[in-house]
Amino acid sequence: DVKVTQSSRYLVKRTGEKVFLECVQDMDHENMFWYRQDPGLGLRLIYFSYDVKMKEKGDIPEGYSVSREKKERFSLILESASTNQTSMYLCASTRSRGGYTFGSGTRLTVV
């Protein structure tokens, strides 16, 4: 089974902190994604990557950056965490034309 592993299930960070969310997949998928999920707003794409060192902005990239130094790892960085970034963060991966495999999610609370 394809596995997408997110490093933390729950995180609590302070406003202004730099936050790293890590995601690792084990099936050699080219494409990786970061979404955030909020009640009433659904899944919104933050950033995605279709190859190592390649990245593209999604629909809501402001306040975030990403890093993909290795094919299996895609990191989401909150440069200076704010309370409006409190959310569930979901990482996903896929080959070019298949369904996504999601990680279990990281519930981030910024206080």
**Where on the phi/psi map is residue 63: left (φ > 0), alpha (ψ -120 to 50), or beta?**
left
Nearer to other proteins, 17 or 51 (CB): 51
Q: Report how far residue 106's alpha carbon sits from residue 6's, in angstroms, rounded to the nearest whole number.
A: 7
Check if the beta carbon of residue 93 is closer than 8 Å to that of residue 2: yes
Give min distance, CB of 8 to other proteins, in A: 14
Cα 62 to Cα 80: distance, rounded to the nearest angstrom: 11
Interface with other proteins (CB under 8 A), residue from 1, 10, 62, 97: 97
Q: How far is the CB of 21 from other proteins (least distance, A)?
A: 14
Touching other proteins, residues 1-30 (CB under 8 A): none
Query: Which residues bind to other proteins, rule: CB under 8 A?
Result: 31, 33, 35, 40-43, 45, 48, 50, 58-59, 90, 94-105
